[in-house]
């Protein structure tokens, strides 16, 4: 029996690259994103290339009801999800006091609430089957506070903590949880978060979405829990946990500063 993967944020970047990887391994796909038109275009290309079944769901996952609606739609189709990829997320740049509260709330809804609810909804069937793998996409932002991106960094810290905790809870169930923590990556993220002029993207060799996706897939299949892409990013994450907090915050602020 073929395995099936559900990928959120599948219309581009890491999510789309993961779709290609899973399809190349023979897995059927359930792809979720706001733009169903984009998903339908990819469905034709990926389905024809790999000969897999693809089911697309156009859904704005910033809405609190969206996760439940996705689950209900998949349940009605009697599709069993073996792999859950919580990839959808976005960030925003600017001082919190001057930011749009609605946008910050949407960020929390997507990065935290939707991810948590989708995990909660699909976990029971995975546990019952004795097999399942969940990949939650966080960020190296999870290891530190981020002045000018305070809510985004905080949401990714949640994803890291949540994923580590439930990975431990599920240790004897046959279900694994992996949290992927990439650094700066060439996706649509920097444009959406208004970071194209920041030191974060100006001063580093930025990874491609394909590189991060391949790394994340490999580590998820091994069942690793916390995985950080790139040697420099690993060093940063370790130092952030050991260095004085004031220094960590100051360095993060410099990294996010625009030229």
Q: Domains in the chain: how many in total?
A: 1
User: Given this model, what pLDDT does residue 198 score?
Assistant: 46
Rounded Cα–Cα distance for residues 244 and 87 (Å): 31
Among residues 55, 131, 152, 158, the one annotated as catalytic is 152
Q: Mind listing the pLDDT tens digit for each residue in 36-55?
A: 999 999 999 999 899 999 99
Q: Which two tokens stand for residue 61?
A: 């996952």
> What is the CA 150 to chain-centroid distance, rounded?
18
| Ordered per-residue pLDDT tens for the chain, 259 residues | 589 999 999 999 999 999 999 999 999 999 999 999 999 999 999 998 999 999 999 999 999 999 999 999 999 999 999 999 999 999 999 999 999 999 999 999 999 999 999 999 999 999 999 999 999 999 999 999 899 999 999 999 999 999 999 999 999 999 999 999 999 888 765 455 455 554 554 555 789 999 999 999 999 999 999 999 988 887 777 766 655 566 556 565 667 765 5
Residue 110 DSSP symbol: I
Give yes or no: 55 in active site.
no
* 8 Å CB contact between 33 and 229: no
User: Given this model, what pLDDT does residue 10 score?
Assistant: 97
pTM of the model: 0.88
Rounded Cα–Cα distance for residues 171 and 97 (Å): 41
Q: Pinpoint the alpha helices (H) of the chain.
A: 13-24, 36-50, 66-76, 101-108, 115-129, 150-169, 189-192, 199-202, 209-222, 231-242, 245-256
Rounded Cα–Cα distance for residues 136 and 179 (Å): 5
User: Given this model, what pLDDT does residue 189 score?
Assistant: 54
User: Given this model, what pLDDT does residue 40 score?
Assistant: 94
Q: To which residue do tokens 């706001």 refer?
A: 34
* 8 Å CB contact between 27 and 53: no
**What angle do helix axes 115-129 and 66-76 make, rounded to 10 degrees?**
30
What CATH number is associated with residue 136?
A: 3.40.50.720
Phi/psi at 258 (nearest 5 deg)?
-90, 150
State the residue range of the domain holding 30: 4-256
């Amino acid at each position: 029996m073929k395995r099936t993967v559900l990928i959120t944020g599948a219309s581009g970047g890491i999510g789309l690259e993961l779709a290609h990887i899973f399809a190349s391994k023979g897995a059927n796909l359930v792809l979720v994103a706001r733009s169903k038109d984009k998903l339908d275009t990819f469905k034709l290309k990926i389905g024809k290339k790999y000969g897999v079944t693809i089911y697309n769901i156009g859904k704005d996952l910033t809405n609190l009801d969206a996760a439940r609606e996705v689950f209900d739609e998949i349940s009605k189709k009697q599709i069993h999800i073996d792999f859950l990829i919580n990839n959808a997320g976005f960030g925003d740049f600017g001082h919190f006091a001057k930011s749009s509260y609605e946008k910050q709330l949407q960020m929390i809804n997507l990065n935290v609430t939707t991810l948590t609810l989708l995990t909660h909804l699909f976990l029971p069937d995975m546990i019952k089957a004795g097999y399942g793998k969940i990949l939650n996409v966080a960020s190296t932002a999870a290891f530190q506070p981020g002045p000018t991106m305070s809510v985004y960094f905080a949401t990714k810290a949640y994803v890291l903590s949540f994923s580590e905790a439930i990975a431990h809870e599920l240790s004897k169930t046959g279900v694994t949880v992996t949290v992927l923590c990439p650094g700066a990556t060439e996706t649509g993220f920097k444009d959406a978060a208004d970071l194209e002029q920041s030191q974060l993207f100006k001063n580093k060799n930025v990874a491609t979405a394909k590189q991060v996706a391949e790394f994340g897939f490999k580590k998820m299949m091994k069942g690793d829990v916390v995985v950080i892409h790139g040697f420099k990013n690993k060093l940063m994450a370790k130092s952030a946990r050991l260095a004085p907090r004031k220094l960590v915050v100051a360095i993060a602020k410099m990294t996010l500063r625009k030229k």
